[in-house]
Each structure stands twice: as structure tokens, then as C-alpha cells.
Amino acid sequence: MMHFAWGQEWMGSYHLHPPVLPWVVAGFLKVVGVSNWAYNLLTQLNFLVAFYCIWRLAREVLPPVSALAAVCLLELLPYFSFFSMRLNHSSMLIPIWALTILLAYFAIQRGQYRYWIALGVIAGIAMLTKYYSAAMLPGIALYLLGFAKGRDTLKTGGPYLSLMVFLIIMGWHLWYVDNHQVGTVTHVGDYIASDFSSRIKAIRFLIAQLLYLVPLLGVFFFVFFRNRPRAVPDTPEDSVSRQGLPSFIYWMFLFPLIGTVAVGFLAGIGASSRWGGPTLNLAGIVLLLYWPLATDSPARKQLIRAAFAWLVFLPPMLL
């Protein structure tokens, strides 16, 4: 209940972390009531939002059943199963990063100002949840600079409007931290060290994420190769459904992972494996984009059934 206690003060920042998680916990428990079941409900609602945002993004680049399978596959990741009983700053980043990437996709693909404004707001909220969001947000900016579709948006006012909204939110936060002498920003320095043991933590971070992916990859490739002989070419409907920005999906999956390892190793940042939850949000979508499953292949439904079977066996393991 540490975050609930912090949230009672409704401060603009706290000593160890930015304010969004304490605000959410305190606000939710004030409305619903302070109890263990209410806290557990909030924990699961947190992941429900994540699943919806990831599914909505998947629908932009995958057929309907494949989009559902991409989300169901995430149940095989510890972050979405065993670790889902925890509500902390890293787990709250899972839906917030998913929503940020979804809004960035809509903003780039559709170009409407409402998406750019919403992107600026949620990007600010992401940073006010945990500064580790700095591992993801530059990826959006670099996509705008490095890819043709992204550069086209720079000819409009959308990206600049989004940046302005983001800077207003961060400006207020940094002013609050400085004016009230809160140690949130200086606490970042506690993770930086020059010795090699701190640098090697970045490598351990990557190894941990790869190990967490093993159950998901194992189930996917077992089903994929088992049904491969029966695969047939996609229908026109499937081809159309995958039109969009798959390059953005690949980029936003790889950038935070590689960026965390590279910056962590070079700067000596002690990256924790627990930070990796939001970096694996897009794992299911990436798999089904790179290795698509045919429309009338039973593989997609088998993946969904495997995820639901895992849900049946998981609760007894947590008791």
C-alpha cells in the first residue's frame, strides 16, 4: 500500500518515482474502497487496458483472428501471467506504452490532430509514470525522422503540436520537482555507475527478456510448424488487413529493447530485468506479421486455445 500512502498527498512527484501510479492507486481506492480485492481488481484492469490497446493495434495490421491470437499469446509471458498480480511503476507502463504506440500509429497513419494531441498527453503521462519511458519515446521521434511515412507527417503541424503538449506536461513536472526539492530526477543517478558489473546488467536485461519469450516462442513455433503443410495462400481480405505500417510495429518492438541494452551498457545504467514488461507488448504482433498464418489454417485457433488452456492451469499455480 506504499503507493496508496503516497497518493494521499497528491503531490506532483515523489522521492523515488513520478506521480501517476500513486495518483491512480489512491484515486481508485478512494472511489471503490480500500481493500485487497479492490487493489487486485485495479491490477487486473491495468492489464485489461493493455490487452485492448494491443489488440486494437493488431487489428490495424493483422486479420481479426490473427489479431486475437497475437494478444492471447502474451498470456504466455510472465509479465502478463505470473507477474500480473503486481502493480508497480513497471507494470503500469505496460498499458501506457501500448496506448502510446497505438496513438502514435493512428497519428502517423491518419494524420488527424486529435491523435497528435492525445499522443502528446499520453507521452507525458508515460514519463510521469516512470522515467524509463525515455527508452521508448525517442523511438517514435526517430521513426518520424528516418522513415518516409514519418517524414511526411513533419510537413504538417501534428508532430509539433504533440511535442508542445508533451513539453508543457514535462515542464510543469520538472518545475514542481525543482521548486519542491523532490529527489525524483536525482534518483535516476542512483542507477548509473562506472564499474563493469553495472554495465553487464544491460546484457542480463536482454537475456532475461529472451528467456521470458521462450514459452511464447515455443508454443507459437510448435503450432506454426505443425500446421505448415496445410497452409494455403492468404485471401485478398487477409492481404488488405495487413496493409498499414508494419515497419512501425517492428521498429517500436526493437527500439526499446536494443536501446535499453546499448544505453545501459555504454552509460553504465543498472537496468533491471523487471523493466522489460512494456518492451514485449508487441511480441505477438511481430510474430504473426513476420510468420503469418493462412486464413483456413487451424493454427490461429489453436494458439488461442493454448492461451486459454494456460489460463485454466495458471490460477492453481499461483495459489
Distance of CA 172 to the CA centre of its chain: 25
Do the Cβ atoms of 97 and 240 come closer than 8 Å? no
Q: Which amino acid is at 20?
A: V
Considering the chain, what percentage of its residues have pLDDT values greater than 70? Answer: 86
Cell of 210: 529472451
> How far is residue 90's CA from residue 85's CA, in Å, rounded to a whole number?
12
Structure pTM?
0.91
Residue whose cell numbers read 483472428: 65
pLDDT digits (tens, 9 = 90+) for 79-119: 998 888 888 989 999 999 999 999 999 999 999 999 999 99
Cell of 184: 525524483
**CA nearest 284: which of 203, 223, 234, 235?**
223
Indicate the SS3 state at residue 12: coil
Distance of CA 186 to the CA centre of its chain: 25
User: Dihedral angle at the C-alpha atoms of 205, 211, 216, 218, nearest 10 degrees?
Assistant: 150
Higher pLDDT, 193 or 12: 12
Confidence category of residue 7, pLDDT binned at 50, 70, 90: low
Residue 9: which residues within 8 A CB-CB, separation 6 or more?
none
Indicate the SS3 state at residue 192: strand
pLDDT digits (tens, 9 = 90+) for 34-71: 888 999 999 999 999 999 999 999 999 999 999 999 99
> How far is residue 293's CA from residue 62's CA, in Å, rounded to a whole number?
10
